[in-house]
Every structure is written in structure tokens, then in C-alpha cells.
Structure 1
Amino acid sequence: MEKMIVKAQAARRLRAGYPLLTAADFLTKIDFSEEKFLTELSKKDFVQFFDEKKKFLGTGYLSKQNKGVGWLLSRENRAIDALFYAEKFAQAKALRQPFFADDKANAFRLFNGEGDGLGGLTVDFYAGFAVFSWYNEFIYAQSQEILIAFLEIFPEILGIYEKIRFDRVQTDSVAISSSCPRSLGAKAPSPFGNSVKNNGDHIWGEKAPEPLIVKENGVNYATYLDDGLMTGIFLDQKNVRATLVNGLATEKRLLNMFSYTGAFSVAAAVGGASQTTSVDLAKRSLDKTREQFFVNGIAPESQKIYVMDVFSYFNYAKKKQLSYDIIVLDPPSFARNGKKTFSVAKNYGELVEASVDILAGNGILIASTNAANVSREKFRQSIEQALRKKQVKFDIFQEENLPADFHVAREFPEGDYLKVLFIKIKK
């Protein structure tokens, strides 16, 4: 097992249970940008971390990823193996029992990475099927053992899909044999196939129907588990959709910007909205949104769906003197449309200002972001600054973050990346 020494400040964090490691934490400089180093790193073993006095801090791994350079997995001097993974999955399953018992929902997060003790991996549940998301090369290399441990704890799972959410150094794909042993003591079959797979794949068990209809808050959603990185719904927004279903949208006109497959719009329509309007630049959003209304028994033609740039729609609505009682803003962290770029950190205030112009008196703005690089305080400040610029009175009457199935570790509050503000605006 590799042994590495971390600086004093990093040692204090690790002792307190903070799981994320950065390149600056180590006494020896690590260049994670070198391709050769990345290739070698993906083949290395787990790492034992020590402080500068050579005192043991814990066991984890290093691998380039979208945040930091690795994760602490255990503060005990123990092997990270199938039994370790099984323990983590068992603990996660126990926490999710209320969600399994909910007869109005069958789609939720089963395992939330570092929140459940294994940074670099998330698992979502879709009506009996599991979707694994791998976030770095090293944890993906452990996938055979992880998947076998998962099936030991979740034998009821019908089939498994995976999403590769990192740039792969190696392109070998991992799959479980259809005769995968259910005992952790059994010898695992060889995991590697010969073909290069896409970023979303079926790897074990039954294949889900297309679409796979899942429920959330009593609303149906059409999902596709084998269609690239996205499934058709963002499960972390269930609390926001619940608010729309449970009365906030009743008899109101809702505008859903960056609508993707129209999940907020469908939730509002089921919740009694008088009209929903969905706007997204992606062409496929049109048919996807129509499908979501259809699977809920709502005639798609009774709702408005536009494929266009959101700022162009703001201009169009203002010109046509359209107004809305609720506007939902849930943009991607970063987007590009031709030569124009949008980022939450720089441009979210512009969305808020444009929304005020077409919001009805005493209207509600639902402002949301999952941008990890924007703190809760900074996000709130950018919105309040934009509203003051528009010279309107406002009241932030509700806030949402990640739902309970997206379990967040107390020692790592940064894991709670979702920020949602419900704002009543008086014009």
C-alpha cells in the first residue's frame, strides 16, 4: 500500500473526518496534469496517509477528479475491500428505508459518495434498477469488487447501469458476469470486456424498459437509463418539485427556464397550475417534455413548450407583454451558445433581472443552482443585488438544499451543493 505524508493543516482536517484531499496537502509535489502520472496512478493501490510526525491518519486513494485529488475512506488501519464496501452499502441502505417505504416514490439516491463514506461514487435507484456514477479512474478500477459487494446488500436489484463521469485514461469497460457470485467470499469473474463503451451502459441483470416510468411525489416521469449521462430527471430537485405539486402552483402560470425534460413544469401542472411554459435551447427537450406530460395523462398541446435561448425568450415575452406568477431558474453551472457563454458565478443576476420584468405582481421566483464553486452566501448575495438593482421589494420565504436521500457528511458540508431560494417579489 502506498504511504504519503500530508502537511500539518491537512492532517488536522483528516483527523476531524474531512474526507477530501487536494494537491496542496502533500509535502511532495504531485502534478496531476501529467498524462503519464495519471496512467500510473490509475494502477496504484490504496494510500495510507501520515502526518509529518509519521502518525497514521487513515486510508484512502488518490485520483484526478472534478474536485480535489482524492478521498480519505477510513481513519482505521484496515483494508479497503469487498467487506468495507458492503458495510458502507448496508449503512446507506438502512438510512434509505423511509424512501423504500414511500408508495408515492420509487426513484431516489441510494448512495451519495463521500456522504456515505466512499468519495467518487454515487448510486441512484430507479424503480428497481441501480445507476452507478463513477467520478474518477481509481474508483472505477475497483468497480468489480464494489459491484459484487453492492449486490450482496441489494439482492433485490433487477439490473445495473453505469455512467462514466470522468475522462478515462484507459478505455476498458467493466461489467459483472450474469452469473455474478452473491457471496463476498466467492472469486469474482474477470471484469474487463474488449469493447469501448459509451458513458451510459447496462452492465448487469435485466434491462429496464424504455422509457422506464418512475414515480416521485406521486408524479410519473419517463426516464432512460441507457441514454448517455442523463436519465431524464435530476433527483436532487425532488423537494422543489414537491412544493409545486403540493399547492404552490395551484391556479398559477409557471415559466420553467432551462427546462430540460420539463420536470418542474409537469410537477406544477399536476399541482394545479393554470398554464406551464417550458423553455430550453436543446432540440430534444421538445419531445422529452411532451412525453413527461403524456405519461401523466396531461395533453402536451395544452402546455407551451419552446426550443430557444432563454434570454431570447425573455425578450420575446417582454415584447409580447406576457407575465407569469412563478418563474423557475435552474441553469447549468456553465453553458455556451455560439459565441455567448453563461456561468452561474458571473451571470445569474442577469437572469434574475430579466425575470422581474415579466413576473406578475406578488409573483414568485424559484432561484436554483447546483454550482459547487458558488457558495450559498455568494448565491444569495448575487440574487439580492439583482433585485435591489430592479428596485423591487422581496421576501425569501423558503430555502431548499439537498433532500435527505442525498446524505451529506457532517464533516464535509461542502457536499451539500444544491441551493434553492423561493422569493416573493412585490413590484
Structure 2
Amino acid sequence: MTETVKITVDQRFVTQYYEGYQHIPGSLSTALESVTEEGIYLDLMTPEGLFIARGYYGHQNKGYGWVFTRDQSVYLTVEWLRKLFSDAIGKRQRLFHDDETTAFRLFNGEGDGLGGVTIDLYNDCALIQWYSAGIYAHRDNILDAIEAVYPLKAIYHKKRFKEGGKYIDADDFVRGERVDFPILVKENGVLFNVDLNDGPMTGVFLDQREVRQRIKEAYSHGKTVLNAFSYTGAFSVYAALGGADKTTSVDLAKRSLPMTIAQFSVNGIDFEAQDIRVMDVFNYFDYALKKQLSYDVVILDPPSFARSKKRVFSVQKDYVTLLEQALQVTTKEGVIVASTNYSGFDMKKFKQFIKRAFHNQHATYKILETHAQPEDFPFDRTFKESNYLKVVFIQKLN
């Protein structure tokens, strides 16, 4: 069995751990400074020596690990993990019985009771993402447990932590039968090519399922749509299927062009009737202004941080500027879909960004609807950063 180390918790943290807090920050205890073995069990103790909870040590950008039980007899055994995964599957029965959706999140880290690991289902294939070497140290039990509770053709994985100075394995195949990629999955009846063995991304971000459907149902028919930071064009595909007059997809990554063409094509959409641009989004805004282009719907879903040869983009520092530029190419009564997955601020602050951008541009607006994570992306209410997704549909009034 993996070694267990007792950590005396600073008194100011005791109550919140009794109330269910899962995160283990560096400020929890000075004793963490002496722990170096990834995956080791941490028993959190009161200053009086009473057991509070058990977690594991896994150093990642969010901290030093996660609590997973308040039962001193529980470890990350196959038996316990089987129960954990079975409970997660039970909460997702609606999705399992939805023939129109075959790709969704099966297990969402701390939101389902074990931080540091997520599991996505793509047809009969699973993709596991490990966020620290600490949780990866328990991989065999986790793999055995998920195979025991759900029939899978193949398991692939992504390491989101550095190993040997690198984040990415050359081969992400783990168990089962190797799959010929890309495979076709369905989301609300829309088809997507996905590849689980080609770098850090798969081809579609599953947490935007409900937002894409709203764009298709209520915001696309007869509209011109600009999809900024388009990646593989998922929002554009939905917009086109929703009856958009034309979509424009803009992304700096060169591979976004062939991947977006592929996503249009599998859905029977003439990609040549759409506009796909490989260029910096801010440069495209300048181009659109110069050409007097405007759009009825502008979708903004940037990465939290991105670096190009000429620019560094940070959501926290630059989202207001991004909104200001988007406003300049949005028609009167047009809609901006502002989105971010940055966990460092909440919806209240995000709405302040929106207010500031419109104020700076002397424009008025109305918020039409807001969205957060869908049902298969539950979050831990004691750890606000796990409630990361913020999407606001904003109508420009003048």
C-alpha cells in the first residue's frame, strides 16, 4: 500500500475540511514542504491530532493534491473507485439514453469526488486526463475500476503534467484495442471528427454542448456569424445547420483549416460556401473594420492564455479589449456570445468586463441568457474554481 503521511492542518482550515472542502493548497501546512513523493496519501489532522480527511499528494498548478474521503478506512482501491465511477455513471443516465449524443464527460474530477482526473466518453472509447503525477501514480487502480464498471473498446489518455520536461506522450493509447482515427461522434445529432491520439486536443470541447445547441436553435437562422478562436469550427457547424446565411471561422492555428473543413463536410455542409481564415483574431478584426464587414452574431471563446509571434493574450488582462474590438464588427441588435473557461474569476466579474467594454465603446446592451457547465461537468461547491465555464449572450442595442 502507498505510504501515508500525517499532515497537521492549520487551524483556519479545519472547519472547511469538515464541511467537505477537497482542495489541498500549499498554504495548508508547512509540513507539505517535506513531502516529495507524488501519489502518497495525506491524512489531514487537527492540531489536536484528530483525523479529518484523507487525500493524495499531487503537485499541479492548482495546488498540492485533493481530499477524496473522510473515512479513515478508505484508500484509492479498485473497489472504492468502482463505486465512485458507478455513482458518476448513474448521474448521467439521461445522456447514456440519448441516441443523439455519444460524446460527453463520464467523470469530472472534484465535481464527482476525486480531483485531478477526468474521463470523457467518445462512443465506446474513453479518454482519461491526468492533471498531476500524483493521481497518475494510482493509474492502474483507476484503469481497472473504470473497465470494471463500463464496457470500453479502448482507453486513451492525456498527461496534463510535465514528465521528463514534456507534457505530451508520443502515443496516448493505454488499453483495449487500438482505434483508427478520426472517429465520428454525435452531439445533439451533429457529427464531429475526433482523434484521441493526436496531441492535447481531440477536436471538440464537450463542455460547450448546450451553448452550441442554443446558437443553432435561436441565434443562427438568416444571420451572418463570426466564430473567433474557432479551433475546429464546432460553433460554425452548429450555426450553419441552424440556417446561418454564412459563417466565418477565424483561428491562428494552421491545422484549424483542414479540421474545420472536415467538420463541415461530415455534416453535409458545403465548406466552400463558408469563410475559414487562418490568422490572428485581433488582426482579423482590423481587417473586418477596413473592409467594413459586420456580423449579426460574434462568438468569442478564446483560450485562457495564448502566445503568438507578435502577441500575448490573457483572458484576465485582455478580454475587455477583445470585447471592444468585437463590438466594432457587430451589427446593431446583433449578439455577442462571450465565453471563457478561465477559473480565476467568477460570473460576476465576467459581467463587469462586459459592462466595462460596452461603456468604453459608448454602447448599450442587454444580457439575453447565461450558461455554465452542463450536467456532465458538475463542480465542487466548496471550490469555486471548479465552476469555471461562463457564457453570456449579449445583445448590442446601439
What is the TM-score when the length of structure 2 is the normalising length?
0.96
Offset at 1:370? 0.5
Residues 6-405 of structure 1: pairs in structure 2 closer than 5 A = 6-28=9-31, 30=33, 40-42=36-38, 45-80=40-75, 81-154=77-150, 156-168=151-163, 198=169, 201-405=172-376
Give the whole-Å Cα distance in 2 for the aligned partners of 1:140 and 1:421.
35
- In structure 2, the CA distance between the partners of 1:354 and 1:407, relative to structure 1 (3 Å rule), is same
Contact between 1:164 and 1:200, CA under 8 Å: does it hold in 2? no
**Counterpart position of 1:2:** 5
Query: CA-to-partner distance for each residue in 1:207-239, whole Å, 9 max, x for gaps?
Result: 233211111111101111110110000001111
CA RMSD of aligned residues (A): 1.6
Return the alpha-carbon distance in structure 1 between the equivalents of residues 237 and 360 of structure 2: 32
- Conserved 8 A contact 1:159-1:207: yes
With over 3 angstroms needed to count, the CA separation of the structure-2 counterparts of 1:365 and 1:279, relative to structure 1, is same
Query: Please, which moves more after superposition, 105-114 or 5-14?
Result: 5-14
Amino acid at match of 1:41: E
- Asked whether the 8 Å contact 2:158–2:168 carries over to 1, the reply is no
- Return closer, same or farther for 1:200/1:346 CA change in 2, 3 Å cut-off: farther
Partner of 2:383: 412
Pick closer, same or farther for the CA change 1:29–1:218 going to 2, 3 Å.
Answer: closer
How many residues are treated as equivalent by the alignment? Answer: 394
Deviates more, 1:71-80 or 1:291-300: 71-80
Q: Structure 1: which 5+ runs fail to align?
A: 32-36, 172-195
> Quick one: structure 1 residues 18 and 197, their matched pair in 2 at CA, closer, same or farther if it must change by over 3 Å?
closer
TM-score by length of 1: 0.89
The residue type equivalent to 2:343 in the other structure is: A
Contact 2:303 2:315 in 1 (8 A): yes
- 1:111 is paired with a residue whose SS is strand
**CA-CA distance at 1:412 after TM superposition:** 2.9
* Partners of 1:200 and 1:343 in 2: CA distance: 30
Secondary structure class of the residue paired with 1:410: coil
Give the deviation of 1:259 after TM superposition: 0.4
The corresponding residue for 1:421 is: 392
Name the % identity.
42
Q: CA deviation at 1:275?
A: 0.5
**Counterpart Cα distance in 1 of 2:101 and 2:394:** 27
